[in-house]
Structure 1
Amino acid sequence: MKHKRFKQEKREAILGWSFILPATAAFVVFMFWPLIYTFYLSFFKWNMVSPNKQQVGLKNYIDLLTSPLTYQLLWNTLIFVAILICLNFVLPYILAYINTFVMNKGKGIYKTLLFIPSLISLVVGAISLQFIFNPISGPIGTILRGFGITMPSWSKTAGLVILVISLVAVLKAFGYNFLVLLSGMSSVSPELIEAARLEKTPKRKIFSKIVMPLTSSTAIYVLIISVVQGMQYVFTPTKVLTQGGPNHQSSNIIYGVYEEAFTYYSTGRASALSIMAMLIFLILLFLEFKYVERGIYYEN
């Protein structure tokens, strides 16, 4: 009897491993091995063409840590993250609440209108916003001239160039984040909201004291993808519109890795910068789990 049970357990174990082996192999090949090889390359000087790699030890890391450009990229990255959190997390969170608990008519229309921009590709969105914000022939510049205001050239203005590039990522991710948060709002009991209304609780308190705690698990997911996926999305408009200019004012740590590798062909520095970027995101993820995850409500 024990022998049969052992054989059955072994068969089930083999079957289980056979199911997870393809996904595990893909994860190792496309995630772990590139990470290990990137870490290995960060200790070399190599241009991706020469058959020989020159070992330089920690020089790539030291050069990056002593370069003012690295801190410029980090500062720009923080600005990108702040804008993406505000426009891809906070704003759709508020609009999802309004659509679910405040609006009485036209909910489906607004859902559709807010989701449609996410169907536009990043390249098309970048070119469209380039036209919209054109200070000479764009609609915004034309309207401002009617009020006697001259619109600055956004592609040459520090701060404004980051905002415009971020808007392309917002167009792509806003609709998806809005629908995800909307689905989280649907799990909140309408009876609970109605009871709060009967007690004449202000809408802002209903949002902060009832809706936010009960939808916190959905919110933390959207917060994480707003940062991680948003930083991936800003790469394309940066490449299409500014190539990191003017004077690296629109670049960020992700585009900096690409520029080091495929513009300057400095594979070692690019690898070191990518490892530094990964460490920064791991620190942010650790802080999220340590200080934010504790307050998350998971149903059941």
Structure 2
Amino acid sequence: MSGSTLIKRRMNKENWKAYCFLFPSILIFAIFMFWPFIYTVYLSFFEWNLISPTKEFVGLQNYKEVLSDPNTYKIFGNTFIYIVILLLLNCIVPYVFAFVIDLILKRFNGFYKGALFLPAFISLVVGSILFTWILNPISGPVAIILGWFGLEMPNWSKTDGWVISVLSLITSWKVFGYNFIVLYASINGVSRELIEAARLDNVPLWRIFFNIVLPMSSATGIYVLIITIVQGLQYVFTPIKVITQGGPNYASSNAIYHAYHEAFVLYRTGHSAALSILTMVIFLVLLIIEFKYVERGIYYEN
């Protein structure tokens, strides 16, 4: 038997071992990800209320009704606003904090890291209730303090604009610490010699951040960017559910919550499935754009 034949047999044997090790993971993915996705696509072509034993085939009617509903565009607009606010609070701000704490604040470094990460251990439901009390426009601590200066706190849960801002703040309070720790670890891995050489040359800190730290930690930065966009869809669901239930008049709803509301409150499963598929398509397009234009300038050695 030739040596090449033995190598091929050994490679085939190793391949089968690899497939056997992968099979449990593939099975879990198939049950909990691929099948729900296929079933959602299937439901988007039917009219069903989750109770009836039969489903009525309506073709593309659910998609037409979703796209012709003005509330759909309002909800997608809300989703975009959530993502923008969360990108500011959960991507840009923790980047700056991580840079300052790692390179400028030398004392109490561990305390700052622990304090910023602490809210990550607290349930978002508990955080939502806590912020509801703190920001109560009548009897909350913030309203009382503003009253000392003759200022009145707006009824944010019933006001367009304010409600999205506050719900984004609640979500950021929960997830800020995780993003901060990830970015801090990345910045901490940037060459100290390079940074010290720049400081010896009297390079301003803002230039060190933009010209050295940001490019060399960009791989982690893009990860946090994508995670933050996902948070704009998923994490904000909890404060919406606990505090506003999508109100007032869909002013605080986002794409994920509205899909839930359509299916499990209004029992319009076809509409919910169609909205879910449209949401997935939009974010797939955004992901493709990100890979095509943003990934080119990423530095992966750190």
Shorter-normalised TM-score: what interval? over 0.9
Residues 120 and 175 of structure 2 are in contact (CA less than 8 Å); yes or no, is this contact kept in structure 1?
yes
State how 1:203-218 maps to structure 2 within 5 Å.
Answer: 203-218=205-220
AA of the residue aligned to 1:12: E
Matching residue of 2:117: 115
For 1:135 and 1:291, locate their aligned partners in 2 and report how far apart those are by CA, in whole Å: 44
Q: Secondary structure of 2:259's match?
A: helix
Letter in 1 for 2:221: A
Partner SS, residue 228 of structure 2: helix
The whole-number CA distance in structure 2 between the counterparts of 1:237 and 1:272 is 24
What residue is the counterpart of 1:37 in the other structure? 39
* Contact 1:169/1:234, CA 8 A, preserved across alignment: yes
Q: What's the counterpart of residue 253 of structure 1?
A: 255
Secondary structure of the residue aligned to 2:300 is coil
Code of the aligned partner of 1:289: F
The alpha-carbon deviation at position 187 of structure 1 amounts to 1.4
1:237 alignment counterpart:
239
Structure 2: runs of 5 or more not aligned: none
- Report matched runs for 1:60-99 at 5 Å: 60-99=62-101
How many residues end up aligned between the 2 structures?
A: 300
Native 8 Å contact 1:88 1:170 kept in 2: yes
What CA distance in whole angstroms lies between the structure 1 residues aligned with 2:88 and 2:6? 60
Q: How does 1:219-298 map to 2 (within 5 A)?
A: 219-298=221-300
- Measured against aligned partners, the alpha-carbon deviations of 1:246-295 in whole angstroms (never above 9, x if no partner) come to 11100011101000000110110000000011011101111111111111
User: C-alpha separation between the residues in 2 aligned to 1:230 and 1:270?
Assistant: 19
Deviation of 1:179 (Å): 0.4
Deviates more, 1:161-170 or 1:173-182: 161-170
Q: Distance in 2 between matches of 1:244 and 1:65?
A: 19
Rounded to whole Å, the distance in 1 between the matches of 2:292 and 2:140 is 46
Which amino acid in the other structure matches residue 120 of structure 2? S
Q: CA RMSD in A?
A: 1.1
Q: Match of 2:288, SS?
A: helix
Matched, 1:51 2:59: no
**Following the alignment from structure 1 to structure 2, what is the Cα–Cα distance between the partners of residues 10 and 73?**
52
2:119–2:173 contact (8 Å) kept in structure 1: yes
TM-score by length of 2: 0.97
Is residue 173–residue 230 contact of structure 1 (8 Å, CA) maintained in 2? no
Letter in 1 for 2:189: S
In structure 2, give the amino acid aligned to 1:79.
I
Q: Does 1:100 align with 2:128?
A: no
- Amino acid in structure 1 at the alignment position of 2:29: F
Deviation at 1:7, TM superposition (A): 3.6
Residue of structure 2 equivalent to 1:179: 181
Counterpart of 1:131 in structure 2 is 133
The residue that corresponds to 2:154 in the other structure is 152
1 CA distance for matches of 2:284 and 2:56? 29
Q: Distance in 2 between matches of 1:122 and 1:281?
A: 24
For structure 1, which runs of at least 5 residues remain unmatched after alignment? none
The percentage of aligned residue pairs carrying the same residue is: 54
Q: Which structure 1 residue ranges, 4+ long, deviate > 4 Å from structure 2?
A: none
Q: Which amino acid aligns with 1:35?
A: F
Structure 1: how far apart are the matches of 2:97 and 2:10?
Answer: 53
Q: Distance in 1 between matches of 2:64 and 2:88?
A: 34
Structure 2 counterpart of 1:18:
20
Give the corresponding residue for 2:201.
199
Deviations 1:45-85 (A, max 9, x none): 01111111111111111111111000010110011001110
Aligned AA (2:55): K
